[in-house]
Structure formats: structure tokens, C-alpha cells
Amino acid sequence: MSTNGDFGTGTRPGRRWLAFAAAAVLALAAGDALAAGGKIYRWVDENGKVHFGDAIPPEYSRQQHEIVDPRGVRTIVNEQREPAPARSDRDRALLATYGTVEEIEEIRDRRTGFLDAQNEVARDRLNGLRIRRQELEGSETAVNELATVNQRIGEYEEEIARRSTEIERIRSDFEEDIRRFRELKGLPEAAPAPEATGSL
């Protein structure tokens, strides 16, 4: 169910009466939904019309809208904020380089993905070296090869640790860029990720 706030035309008194009647209908509809234990959504479409319903169309779910729960508590979702002024060269570079948060996330994932792929190759080689070390241990004729294998294992472990540290640094830097970009654009804060629930 969805209704909107376009109250029609006519004389000024007539418009007032129609507006009052429409508001009363919306209130009754909201009351019915809340009485049934549901939620009421309020959103504004691209033409500026206000809509109420027991579900919000997907194309408006990421825009600012309101939800009234069964207790009558109103919550604003995706609240729009005033854009923050660009104060530094970094701010201006962010606005000049990116148009959306998704573009920033794409560049972040591309950079970290390249390093992740290198680490996967290194881990495969490291596992092979560890298997080879087990085969050589205890052999008196393989002392030199065992020393070489141990050296290579240490090198791969350091290489993986160094890349992992770089991946975390890149992610941290991009998260800060995304946070500041949202401020500069007046975008709502990102919704927190749901907590993982493990099974016993």
C-alpha cells in the first residue's frame, strides 16, 4: 500500500479541505498498519511528492526516508547532512578524483586485490617448501638443501608479512578517504556491518 501527498487543485478553501482529508486518510492507513504490528515508511520521490506505505520501493531505500515502528517511534534513515567545505588540497583532490563512494572502493579493492593475489602465490610456494623441509629433516645427506629450504621459508614468511601490513595500511587510508568524502558530499554514514553469528 502506498499513497502520496499530491492533494489536487481547486479553490484555496477546497485545497485546504482536500489536504485535511488526505492527511486523515494517511493517518488511518498508518494506524491500521501499526495496529497490525507493521511499520510505516515515508519517502519523497524525484518529483517532490511525499509517499507513505508499509514498504518502500527499492529505488528509494538508499535515500533519506522515515520509518515509524509499531510503538510509534520515528527513525530517519540515510539522513542527509550538509556538505562539509573543502579545506585542504587533499579534500579538493578527493572531490576531483572520485564521483562516488563506489569508485573509491573499486580503486581500494583493485590495489589490495593485487597484493592479495601475490600473497596467495607466495603461500602456495611456502607450503611446498614446508613439505620439502619435512622430507629432508633427519637426512644427513641433505644438510645443505635443508639449509637452503629454511632460508627460502624465512624469506617467503617475511614477504607475506610485509604485504599483509601494506594491505592493512591501504585499507586504513582508503577508509579515511571514504569517511572524508562522505563528509564533503553530505552523504549519510555507512551502515555498520552485521555481526557474524557462529553456530555451535
Q: Residues 146-196: pLDDT tens digits? A: 999 999 999 999 999 999 999 999 999 999 999 999 888 888 776 555 555
- Does 21 fall in a domain? yes
Among residues 12, 45, 77, the one where a domain terminates is 77
- Does 83 fall in a domain? no
> What is the span of the domain harbouring residue 31?
2-77
- Does 159 fall in a domain? yes
DSSP 8-state assignment for residue 191: P
Q: Are residues 97 and 171 both part of a single domain?
A: yes
Tell me which residue has cell 530517519.
76
Q: Are residues 160 and 97 both part of a single domain?
A: yes
Contact call for residues 89 and 95 (beta carbons, < 8 A): no
Between the alpha carbon of residue 2 and those of residues 36, 40, 51, 57, 191, the distances in Å are 16, 10, 6, 10, 26
Q: Are residues 116 and 152 both part of a single domain?
A: yes
Q: Are residues 93 and 66 both part of a single domain?
A: no
Q: Are residues 102 and 159 both part of a single domain?
A: yes
Number of domain units in the chain:
2
What is the spatial distance between Cα 98 and Cα 185, in angstroms, rounded to a whole number? Answer: 11
Report residue 39's pLDDT band, with 50, 70 and 90 as the boundaries: confident
Phi first, then psi: what are they for 70, rounded to 5°?
Answer: -60, -20
Q: What residues pair up with 76 in beta bridges, in sequence order?
A: 66
In percent, how much of the chain has pLDDT > 90? 43
Question: Residue 23: helix, strand or coil by DSSP?
Answer: helix
Report strand pairing: 74-77 vs 2-4.
unpaired
**CA neighbor of 175 nearest in space, from 77, 84, 109:** 109
- Does 197 fall in a domain? no
Q: What residues pair up with 109 in beta bridges, in sequence order?
A: none
Above 90 in pLDDT, residue 83?
no
Among residues 24, 45, 77, the one where a domain terminates is 77
Between the alpha carbon of residue 137 and those of residues 128, 142, 149, 150, 183, the distances in Å are 14, 8, 11, 11, 58
Contact call for residues 113 and 163 (beta carbons, < 8 A): no
**pTM of the full predicted structure?**
0.56
Q: Are residues 179 and 94 both part of a single domain?
A: yes
**CA neighbor of 9 nearest in space, from 20, 24, 19:** 19
**CA neighbor of 4 nearest in space, from 55, 45, 61:** 45
- Does 194 fall in a domain? no
Report residue 80's pLDDT band, with 50, 70 and 90 as the boundaries: low
Among residues 77, 100, 121, the one where a domain terminates is 77
Q: Are residues 24 and 98 both part of a single domain?
A: no
- Does 14 fall in a domain? yes
Q: Are residues 68 and 122 both part of a single domain?
A: no
DSSP 8-state assignment for residue 25: H
- Does 26 fall in a domain? yes
